[in-house]
Structure 1
Amino acid sequence: MSETHPTAAGGSPVTEPSYAHGTSPTLLLGDTIGANLARTVAARPGREALVDVPSGRRWTYAEFAADVEQLAYALLASGVAKGDRVGIWAINCPEWVLVQYATARVGAIMVNINPAYRTHEAEYVLNQAGISLLFASLGHKSSDYRAMVEEVRGRCPRLRETVYIGDPGWAAFTARGTADRREELLAREAELSCDDPINIQYTSGTTGFPKGATLSHHNILNNGFFVGELVAYTEEDRICIPVPFYHCFGMVMGNLAATSHGACMVIPAPSFEPKATLEAVEQERCTSLYGVPTMFIAELNLPGFADHDLSTLRTGIMAGSPCPVEVMKRVVAEMHMEEVSICYGMTETSPVSLQTRRDDDLEHRTGTVGRVLPHLEVKVVDPATGVTQPRGVPGELCTRGYSVMLGYWEEPEKTAEAVDAGRWMHTGDLATMREDGYVEIVGRIKDMIIRGGENIYPREVEEFLYGHPKIRDVQVVGVPHERYGEEVLACVIAHDPADPLTLEELRAYCEGRLAHYKIPSRLRLLESFPMTVSGKVRKVQLREDATREG
């Protein structure tokens, strides 16, 4: 059936604005995280809640709730008050999850600290958030967390205690939690509101220090719940979570989506390892797998990939950056993830605002980031004027609703720059809303390349270049140019390093198929891309490295 458009008084068609809101017969949850967990435990005490594949440890929901409660008692015994900031600087492990739910039960604000941080960044976060109690891993890869904490401790006056996971100190700390604290815990929980701040996540700023996005029970519990609803989670689901807990992808879309549906959280490794991930899916019969596209690319290209039995998978979530068409085809066909979902969001919106649906076709899963979630609003505005654009016209994507953060911790001016008077969160992403309400991300406002006055969206060029047989992965960035202001650089990981792509081959492939100004004038061959801990490519570093090398 063709769509008809109303006409204005003068006879010209009236275009639909780039605005959409999500309706749903399923109501928002009014619970705190602790109360929601209690509902799940009461309904499914014997179901498996958490599996740590590296250590072989397992918890049913009843066992998980008991350990969360004991840790909550220990927090009370240690003098943790409602609103106190409790830091967690750790790789993925069961203790991370226990801290997440125990702090929520006592009303403390858990502060996620990026495991990749070094002393300078960690010291800033410890002081800016006013962390009084810190849980930390002993170490991971090149990071010795104990040594780093000792180095900065004297410059962090609010930090009174550090508990190391994997050290006897963890057991000693949890042993403080005794059942005679039960009445105190119940009294504390009775004081809590679902609108209380419960989590601070530091967004990785490209300039200056990161900002602490402050999120409530209501923000993250509902976001995790509705993400889980849209992939149809039930107590039968087992979610493999190789993405970091310190980020919303792990702790909200993973953990809270699981516990709000009685599903099982599966930890394949302390940090992402493609082989460990596939082994965990096979061993634990996972039905859902998470990752950013580069993680799925690494899994699909793993020697022996086809030897893993992934037939139990039905769904999963891909987020963080756009998924190339060819990768999505393989994920659906070879990983059995017919119902895989694409999610889009940002830390400041808890995180997901847009998501594809289970029955969306390949084009919608690769060409868009889905449509608005239930109970949220999105719009696309002119970045200069703030006026809502007509559908099909690019502009800045904005989100409003239950998911928008309370603000940046103790930074009201920066909060006001991001969240306007109408409570719209400005994402900084350039987007286009289609007639059907699905949204395409065309780039970051700051990543857009302006070459000789022409706007170039890197995503469009990347998607085209993925079709070249010699290219396994590609990132397109703008680098300074004396005449044009910027020129287009393609950073390429080759399928076969022994048969590298040349700039001449690349340009010949583009000739006549891309506008001349979009064709890369420079090529860098790389073995890997610089990544954030959450699995996003650091385009800023690609630009800086190329500019420095000339």
Structure 2
Amino acid sequence: MSELSYAHGTGGTALLGDTIGANLDRAVAAWPEREALVDVPSGRRWTYARFGAAVDELAYALLASGVAKGDRVGIWAVNCPEWVLVQYATARVGAVMVNINPAYRTHEVEYVLNQAGISLLFASLSHKTSDYRTMVEEVRHRCPQLRETVYIGDPGWDALVRRGTPDLRGELQAREAELSCDDPINIQYTSGTTGFPKGATLSHHNILNNGYFVGESIAYSEQDRVCIPVPFYHCFGMVMGNLAATSHGACMVIPAPSFDPAATLRAVQQERCTSLYGVPTMFIAELNLPDFAEYDLSTLRTGIMAGSPCPVEVMKRVVAEMHMEEVSICYGMTETSPVSLQTRRDDDLEHRTGTVGRVLPHLEVKVVDPVDGVTLPRGTAGELCTRGYSVMLGYWNEPDRTAEAVDAGRWMHTGDLAVMREDGYVEIVGRIKDMIIRGGENIYPREIEEFLYAHPKIADVQVVGVPHERYGEEVLACVIPRDPADPLTLDELRAFCEGRLAHYKIPSRLRILETFPMTVSGKVRKIELRETYAE
């Protein structure tokens, strides 16, 4: 009989029992003169000593502004040093930082301000087409708990910081003494595909340990410099980026306020970064820059690719042309702080592209039958579940939705279809709701996408199911061509698949696109592709 699809992570390193503030103190004491934070656009730099002092200064200001333990402090901003200072200062005073997606508009931000009960909001002034001040003014009279909004880059930021004085040090120490590592410290709204987003509530223990063990698995030390082009409002930026760095004395490098492929590679070259983060579409955009070969990326050794599966051809180029021999694939979700599975430094190319790694230390994963919840034999597709220190405290003020996601055994149900191999590595074969059912056959889009990436005319591809009268659903391939002047035809696509894919998996429809609809965190919105082309 095959072994069951269950694995737990063992390791010689104990979990951290610190709060985020106490952990930062340790880093400041150990590496005071090493760089902690660099903002490439503005040229500003902080050593650990200076960064620790700036965090304390903002923490004093929060105390002087009447921020109590457990108060919700919102941040609605693009990547900038102030975002990072707010992250650590709110943790110091025991406030709950609420991350707000910079792409939100008035309807969504009003919902979050009220649902979380935000009393103090930090916001960018503007970015691209977003005028945050105008949007806040539009909704604030409908948000009774919002007392104050402070705009980053405005005199109001400096005025707030001046409220705090060093004579509040005793009060800050007293506040920190009453904090527990299990206190809620962060609310992250997960993009709900139906209805309003849910606020995943995370503790110091959840996110500090997750950042720490992600950093451990790629051997971070005080020698590392981490380029973070992924958004801070998302776990990828603030946990896998910031907390992984500060818990190891590494440097956080901000290349730009939002993703810009050229700015990212310039930052790697200028700051001699050793690690680079991104979702696969970001790496594709960097590799496709006309002047890609002119950047000196020789300092890179590692990095993290996450958010969606990495195509084999992209991974080969990242390793060979970006020097990221130790690049790691991570799998997770906001509700699990976020990472539960990760590839290791010495994994081969097949494991880095065919799987999302194996379970991290101190966590458990299993693959279950989505209907009855029974753990399946290895090699069988089912729903991936995870349990351990990383599972959220719950959705903020939504016990019913929490109970739908986290069962009585404290297992988080991910909604992802997965297969656990005999060696414990896990393949993600799709979302339960992305699976295409054509004439009774289950089709996993990931398998078809991987196959189509090898076509010479295809730069990027997404496969979705669309309604069909006879079969229930049919397979649609949405393709971004390598050369827009010479796009792929449906006949060419089908000829490429004939004899190499089962007939029912071969796309019967094709759309040529310039771009895919994306979330701010860089994931393709498949639901939008399905809805757009469902005619």
The alignment's TM-score, normalised by the length of structure 2, stands at 1.00
The aligned counterpart of 2:89 is 102
The aligned counterpart of 1:243 is 230
1:132-171 correspondence to structure 2 within 5 Å: 132-171=119-158
**What do the CA deviations read for 1:391-411 (whole angstroms, capped 9, x no partner)?**
000000000000000000000
Q: Which amino acid aligns with 2:114?
A: N
C-alpha separation in 1, matches of 2:452 and 2:293: 26
CA deviation after TM superposition for structure 1 residue 362, in Å: 0.2
CA deviation after TM superposition for structure 1 residue 228, in Å: 0.1
1:309-328 correspondence to structure 2 within 5 Å: 309-328=296-315
Q: Which amino acid aligns with 2:314?
A: V
Match of 1:400 among 356, 378, 387: 387
CA deviation after TM superposition for structure 1 residue 328, in Å: 0.2
SS of equivalent to 1:427: strand
SS of equivalent to 1:175: helix
CA deviation after TM superposition for structure 1 residue 15, in Å: 1.4
Aligned length: 535
Match of 1:379 among 354, 357, 366: 366
1:47-196 correspondence to structure 2 within 5 Å: 47-196=34-183
**What do the CA deviations read for 1:346-389 (whole angstroms, capped 9, x no partner)?**
00000000000000000000000000000000000000010000
The aligned counterpart of 2:444 is 457
**What do the CA deviations read for 1:199-250 (whole angstroms, capped 9, x no partner)?**
0000001110000000000000000000000000000000000000000000
Q: Which amino acid aligns with 1:307?
A: E
Match of 2:32 among 32, 41, 45: 45
SS of equivalent to 2:164: coil
CA deviation after TM superposition for structure 1 residue 482, in Å: 1.1
1:428-507 correspondence to structure 2 within 5 Å: 428-507=415-494
The aligned counterpart of 1:419 is 406
CA deviation after TM superposition for structure 1 residue 69, in Å: 0.2
C-alpha separation in 2, matches of 1:500 and 1:23: 49
C-alpha separation in 1, matches of 2:446 and 2:164: 51
Q: Tell me, yes or no, if structure 1 residue 267 matches structure 2 residue 281.
A: no
**What do the CA deviations read for 1:439-488 (whole angstroms, capped 9, x no partner)?**
00000000000011110000000000001110010000001111111110
**What do the CA deviations read for 1:476-523 (whole angstroms, capped 9, x no partner)?**
000111111111000000000111100000001111111111000100
Q: Which amino acid aligns with 2:89?
A: A
C-alpha separation in 2, matches of 1:524 and 1:171: 51
The aligned counterpart of 1:278 is 265
CA deviation after TM superposition for structure 1 residue 194, in Å: 0.1
SS of equivalent to 1:374: coil
Q: Which amino acid aligns with 2:312?
A: V
**What do the CA deviations read for 1:169-225 (whole angstroms, capped 9, x no partner)?**
000001111011111000000000000000000000111000000000000000000
Match of 1:530 among 495, 517, 524: 517
Q: Which amino acid aligns with 1:537?
A: V
CA deviation after TM superposition for structure 1 residue 545, in Å: 1.1
Q: Tell me, yes or no, if structure 1 residue 517 matches structure 2 residue 504.
A: yes
The aligned counterpart of 2:242 is 255
The alignment's TM-score, normalised by the length of structure 1, stands at 0.97
The percentage of counterpart residues that share the same residue type is: 87
C-alpha separation in 2, matches of 1:43 and 1:471: 49
The aligned counterpart of 2:191 is 204
The aligned counterpart of 2:353 is 366
C-alpha separation in 1, matches of 2:38 and 2:486: 43
CA deviation after TM superposition for structure 1 residue 281, in Å: 0.1
